[in-house]
Structure 1
Amino acid sequence: MGPFTEGWTEKDVEAVIAKGDPSDLLYVPIVVGMNAPDCEREWAEEICFKLASHPNFNVRGNAILGLGHIARTCRALNLERAIPAISRALADQDPYVRGHADDAASDLRIFLGVSVPGHGNNT
Protein backbone atom coordinates (compact mmCIF):
# COMPACT_ATOMS: atom_id res chain seq x y z
CA MET A 1 0.00 0.00 0.00
CA GLY A 2 1.64 3.21 -1.13
CA PRO A 3 5.22 3.36 0.07
CA PHE A 4 4.79 0.27 2.25
CA THR A 5 5.50 -3.31 1.29
CA GLU A 6 4.73 -6.49 3.15
CA GLY A 7 7.02 -6.76 6.16
CA TRP A 8 7.18 -3.00 6.81
CA THR A 9 8.73 -1.89 10.09
CA GLU A 10 8.25 0.96 12.51
CA LYS A 11 11.42 2.48 11.01
CA ASP A 12 9.72 2.48 7.60
CA VAL A 13 6.75 4.31 9.06
CA GLU A 14 8.96 6.82 10.85
CA ALA A 15 10.88 7.47 7.60
CA VAL A 16 7.66 8.29 5.74
CA ILE A 17 6.58 10.59 8.58
CA ALA A 18 9.98 12.32 8.59
CA LYS A 19 9.81 12.84 4.81
CA GLY A 20 6.39 14.48 5.26
CA ASP A 21 5.12 14.02 1.69
CA PRO A 22 1.30 13.97 1.94
CA SER A 23 1.03 11.60 -1.04
CA ASP A 24 2.92 8.97 1.02
CA LEU A 25 1.86 10.15 4.47
CA LEU A 26 -1.80 9.43 3.81
CA TYR A 27 -1.01 5.69 3.88
CA VAL A 28 0.58 5.77 7.33
CA PRO A 29 -2.56 5.79 9.52
CA ILE A 30 -4.20 3.08 7.44
CA VAL A 31 -1.16 0.81 7.62
CA VAL A 32 -0.67 1.25 11.37
CA GLY A 33 -4.39 1.18 12.15
CA MET A 34 -5.03 -2.03 10.25
CA ASN A 35 -1.97 -3.66 11.81
CA ALA A 36 -2.19 -2.27 15.35
CA PRO A 37 -2.50 -5.75 16.92
CA ASP A 38 0.86 -6.64 15.35
CA CYS A 39 2.65 -3.49 16.48
CA GLU A 40 2.24 -1.49 19.67
CA ARG A 41 -1.33 -0.16 19.82
CA GLU A 42 -0.34 2.98 21.70
CA TRP A 43 2.33 3.74 19.06
CA ALA A 44 -0.26 3.36 16.29
CA GLU A 45 -2.72 5.57 18.17
CA GLU A 46 -0.12 8.29 18.72
CA ILE A 47 0.61 8.41 15.00
CA CYS A 48 -3.09 8.73 14.20
CA PHE A 49 -3.61 11.43 16.84
CA LYS A 50 -0.64 13.39 15.47
CA LEU A 51 -1.83 13.15 11.87
CA ALA A 52 -5.46 13.97 12.74
CA SER A 53 -4.57 17.68 12.67
CA HIS A 54 -2.50 17.57 9.47
CA PRO A 55 -3.26 20.34 6.95
CA ASN A 56 -3.87 17.85 4.11
CA PHE A 57 -7.44 16.55 4.16
CA ASN A 58 -6.47 13.07 2.92
CA VAL A 59 -3.93 12.64 5.71
CA ARG A 60 -6.33 14.07 8.30
CA GLY A 61 -9.24 11.90 7.17
CA ASN A 62 -7.16 8.74 7.04
CA ALA A 63 -5.80 9.45 10.53
CA ILE A 64 -9.35 9.50 11.88
CA LEU A 65 -10.19 6.35 9.92
CA GLY A 66 -7.05 4.76 11.40
CA LEU A 67 -8.47 5.31 14.89
CA GLY A 68 -11.58 3.41 13.83
CA HIS A 69 -9.41 0.59 12.50
CA ILE A 70 -7.59 0.40 15.84
CA ALA A 71 -10.92 0.22 17.70
CA ARG A 72 -12.00 -2.62 15.41
CA THR A 73 -8.75 -4.60 15.29
CA CYS A 74 -7.70 -4.16 18.94
CA ARG A 75 -11.08 -3.70 20.64
CA ALA A 76 -9.35 -0.93 22.62
CA LEU A 77 -8.51 2.74 22.14
CA ASN A 78 -7.54 5.76 24.23
CA LEU A 79 -11.07 7.12 24.40
CA GLU A 80 -10.10 10.29 26.28
CA ARG A 81 -8.24 11.39 23.15
CA ALA A 82 -10.13 9.55 20.42
CA ILE A 83 -13.65 10.75 21.19
CA PRO A 84 -12.76 14.48 21.01
CA ALA A 85 -10.61 13.95 17.89
CA ILE A 86 -13.37 12.09 16.06
CA SER A 87 -16.00 14.57 17.25
CA ARG A 88 -13.91 17.46 15.85
CA ALA A 89 -13.48 15.57 12.59
CA LEU A 90 -17.25 15.15 12.28
CA ALA A 91 -17.37 18.96 11.96
CA ASP A 92 -14.33 19.27 9.66
CA GLN A 93 -14.65 21.58 6.67
CA ASP A 94 -13.81 18.75 4.28
CA PRO A 95 -16.39 16.08 3.41
CA TYR A 96 -13.65 13.43 3.08
CA VAL A 97 -12.68 13.95 6.71
CA ARG A 98 -16.29 14.06 7.87
CA GLY A 99 -17.05 10.81 6.05
CA HIS A 100 -14.14 8.99 7.67
CA ALA A 101 -15.10 10.47 11.03
CA ASP A 102 -18.58 9.03 10.58
CA ASP A 103 -17.04 5.61 9.87
CA ALA A 104 -14.71 5.86 12.87
CA ALA A 105 -17.57 6.92 15.17
CA SER A 106 -19.55 3.90 13.99
CA ASP A 107 -16.55 1.66 14.74
CA LEU A 108 -16.35 3.04 18.28
CA ARG A 109 -20.07 2.43 18.80
CA ILE A 110 -19.98 -1.08 17.35
CA PHE A 111 -16.69 -2.38 18.76
CA LEU A 112 -16.26 -0.38 21.97
CA GLY A 113 -19.85 0.50 22.86
CA VAL A 114 -19.25 4.25 23.10
CA SER A 115 -20.95 7.17 21.39
CA VAL A 116 -19.13 10.10 19.84
CA PRO A 117 -20.77 13.53 20.30
CA GLY A 118 -21.99 14.88 16.97
CA HIS A 119 -22.43 11.41 15.42
CA GLY A 120 -25.91 10.54 14.17
CA ASN A 121 -28.50 11.43 16.75
CA ASN A 122 -25.86 11.73 19.50
CA THR A 123 -25.18 15.37 20.31
Structure 2
Amino acid sequence: MGPFRETWTKAEVEAVIARGDPAELLYVPLVVSLDPPGRVWAEQICLRLAGHPSPDVRGNALLGLGHLARIFRSLHRRRVQPAIEAGLQDRDPGVRGHASSAAEDVAWYLGWVLAGREHTRGRPVCPR
Protein backbone atom coordinates (compact mmCIF):
# COMPACT_ATOMS: atom_id res chain seq x y z
CA MET A 1 0.00 0.00 0.00
CA GLY A 2 2.90 2.36 0.45
CA PRO A 3 2.87 5.39 2.72
CA PHE A 4 0.04 6.34 4.99
CA ARG A 5 -3.18 7.53 3.36
CA GLU A 6 -6.17 8.53 5.43
CA THR A 7 -8.64 6.19 3.77
CA TRP A 8 -8.32 2.66 2.46
CA THR A 9 -11.08 0.34 1.37
CA LYS A 10 -11.82 -2.75 3.41
CA ALA A 11 -10.34 -4.79 0.57
CA GLU A 12 -7.11 -2.77 0.72
CA VAL A 13 -6.91 -3.25 4.49
CA GLU A 14 -7.42 -7.00 4.13
CA ALA A 15 -4.79 -7.13 1.37
CA VAL A 16 -2.23 -5.43 3.61
CA ILE A 17 -3.06 -7.85 6.43
CA ALA A 18 -2.73 -10.80 4.05
CA ARG A 19 0.71 -9.62 2.88
CA GLY A 20 1.78 -9.35 6.52
CA ASP A 21 4.58 -6.82 5.99
CA PRO A 22 5.04 -4.95 9.29
CA ALA A 23 6.15 -1.84 7.38
CA GLU A 24 2.65 -1.70 5.87
CA LEU A 25 0.71 -3.25 8.74
CA LEU A 26 1.67 -0.51 11.17
CA TYR A 27 -0.60 1.87 9.22
CA VAL A 28 -3.68 -0.37 9.27
CA PRO A 29 -4.86 0.39 12.83
CA LEU A 30 -4.47 4.12 12.22
CA VAL A 31 -6.42 4.02 8.98
CA VAL A 32 -9.27 1.91 10.36
CA SER A 33 -9.54 3.89 13.61
CA LEU A 34 -9.30 7.45 12.35
CA ASP A 35 -11.98 7.06 9.67
CA PRO A 36 -13.74 3.81 10.57
CA PRO A 37 -16.43 2.40 8.31
CA GLY A 38 -17.90 0.77 11.41
CA ARG A 39 -16.95 0.18 15.04
CA VAL A 40 -17.11 -3.60 15.12
CA TRP A 41 -14.98 -4.16 12.02
CA ALA A 42 -12.39 -1.54 13.04
CA GLU A 43 -12.27 -2.90 16.59
CA GLN A 44 -11.74 -6.44 15.31
CA ILE A 45 -8.87 -5.29 13.07
CA CYS A 46 -7.18 -3.46 15.96
CA LEU A 47 -7.63 -6.46 18.25
CA ARG A 48 -6.17 -8.80 15.62
CA LEU A 49 -3.09 -6.61 15.35
CA ALA A 50 -2.70 -5.93 19.08
CA GLY A 51 -0.93 -9.28 19.41
CA HIS A 52 1.34 -8.87 16.39
CA PRO A 53 5.06 -9.67 16.82
CA SER A 54 6.08 -6.18 15.64
CA PRO A 55 5.96 -3.61 18.47
CA ASP A 56 5.11 -0.85 15.98
CA VAL A 57 2.06 -2.77 14.79
CA ARG A 58 1.03 -3.72 18.36
CA GLY A 59 1.41 -0.18 19.61
CA ASN A 60 -0.58 1.36 16.76
CA ALA A 61 -3.31 -1.25 17.23
CA LEU A 62 -3.68 -0.21 20.87
CA LEU A 63 -3.62 3.45 19.92
CA GLY A 64 -6.36 2.67 17.40
CA LEU A 65 -8.55 1.24 20.16
CA GLY A 66 -8.26 4.56 21.97
CA HIS A 67 -9.30 6.41 18.81
CA LEU A 68 -12.34 4.14 18.52
CA ALA A 69 -13.30 4.85 22.13
CA ARG A 70 -13.24 8.56 21.35
CA ILE A 71 -15.21 8.26 18.11
CA PHE A 72 -17.86 5.73 19.10
CA ARG A 73 -17.98 6.06 22.91
CA SER A 74 -18.42 2.30 22.95
CA LEU A 75 -16.16 -0.76 22.71
CA HIS A 76 -16.56 -4.46 23.47
CA ARG A 77 -15.12 -4.36 26.97
CA ARG A 78 -14.50 -8.11 27.45
CA ARG A 79 -12.30 -8.12 24.34
CA VAL A 80 -10.70 -4.69 24.42
CA GLN A 81 -9.84 -4.28 28.10
CA PRO A 82 -7.53 -7.35 28.25
CA ALA A 83 -5.72 -6.18 25.10
CA ILE A 84 -5.03 -2.74 26.55
CA GLU A 85 -4.02 -4.19 29.92
CA ALA A 86 -1.61 -6.57 28.18
CA GLY A 87 -0.17 -3.61 26.28
CA LEU A 88 0.43 -1.78 29.55
CA GLN A 89 2.69 -4.70 30.54
CA ASP A 90 4.37 -5.11 27.12
CA ARG A 91 8.15 -5.50 27.05
CA ASP A 92 8.41 -2.65 24.52
CA PRO A 93 8.26 0.89 25.93
CA GLY A 94 6.58 2.24 22.78
CA VAL A 95 3.79 -0.29 23.07
CA ARG A 96 3.38 0.56 26.75
CA GLY A 97 3.16 4.24 25.82
CA HIS A 98 0.44 3.66 23.23
CA ALA A 99 -1.40 1.36 25.63
CA SER A 100 -1.26 4.11 28.23
CA SER A 101 -2.81 6.54 25.74
CA ALA A 102 -5.54 4.01 24.97
CA ALA A 103 -6.11 3.48 28.71
CA GLU A 104 -6.54 7.23 29.16
CA ASP A 105 -9.02 7.32 26.28
CA VAL A 106 -11.16 4.46 27.61
CA ALA A 107 -11.09 6.01 31.08
CA TRP A 108 -12.16 9.42 29.77
CA TYR A 109 -14.64 8.37 27.08
CA LEU A 110 -15.98 5.10 28.51
CA GLY A 111 -15.37 5.38 32.26
CA TRP A 112 -13.33 2.15 32.40
CA VAL A 113 -10.86 1.62 35.23
CA LEU A 114 -8.15 -0.77 34.05
CA ALA A 115 -5.96 -2.99 36.20
CA GLY A 116 -2.97 -1.04 37.42
CA ARG A 117 -4.72 2.25 36.75
CA GLU A 118 -6.98 2.40 39.75
CA HIS A 119 -5.87 6.00 40.25
CA THR A 120 -8.35 6.89 37.50
CA ARG A 121 -11.30 5.68 39.58
CA GLY A 122 -13.66 8.50 40.35
CA ARG A 123 -12.32 10.77 37.62
CA PRO A 124 -14.96 12.44 35.51
CA VAL A 125 -16.06 10.85 32.26
CA CYS A 126 -16.40 12.90 29.08
CA PRO A 127 -19.98 14.08 28.69
CA ARG A 128 -21.67 12.99 25.50
Decide: shared fold, TM above 0.5. Answer: yes
Structure 1 residues 73-117: Cα deviation after superposition (integer angstroms, max 9, x where no partner): 111111111111101110000000000000000000111111111
Letter in 1 for 2:34: M
Of 46, 49, 66, the residue aligned with 2:47 is: 49
TM-score by length of 2: 0.87
AA partner of residue 84 (structure 1): P
3-state DSSP of counterpart to 1:76: coil
Residue 83 (structure 1) aligns with: 81
Q: CA deviation at 1:121?
A: 3.1
Paired amino acid for 1:62: N
Q: Displacement of 1:7 after TM fit?
A: 4.6
Q: Percent identity?
A: 55
Q: How many aligned residue pairs are there?
A: 120
2:35 counterpart residue number: 35
CA contact (8 A) 1:54 1:60 kept: yes
Moved more, 113-122 or 57-66: 113-122
* Mapped partners of 1:109, 1:23: distance in 2: 30
> 1:90·1:102 contact (CA, 8 Å) conserved in 2?
yes
Structure 2 unaligned spans of 5+: 121-128
Tell me the TM-score normalised to structure 1 length.
0.90
Structure 1 unaligned blocks of 5 or more:
none
Q: Greater CA radius of gyration, 1 or 2?
A: 2
Report the AA paired with residue 106 of structure 2. L
SS at match of 1:121: helix
Which residue of the partner structure matches residue 95 of structure 2?
A: 97
Quote the Cα distance in structure 1 between the aligned partners of 2:115 and 2:35. Answer: 27
Separation (CA, whole Å) in 2 of partners of 1:40 and 1:6: 15
Structure 1 position 34, deviation (Å): 1.1
What is the root-mean-square deviation of aligned Cα atoms in Å? 1.7
Q: Distance in 2 between matches of 1:119 and 1:61?
A: 18
Opposite residue 46 of structure 1, the aligned amino acid is Q
Preserved CA contact (<8 Å) 1:61 1:96: yes
* CA positional deviation for 1:119: 2.7
Q: Retained in 1: the 8 A contact 2:6–2:35?
A: no
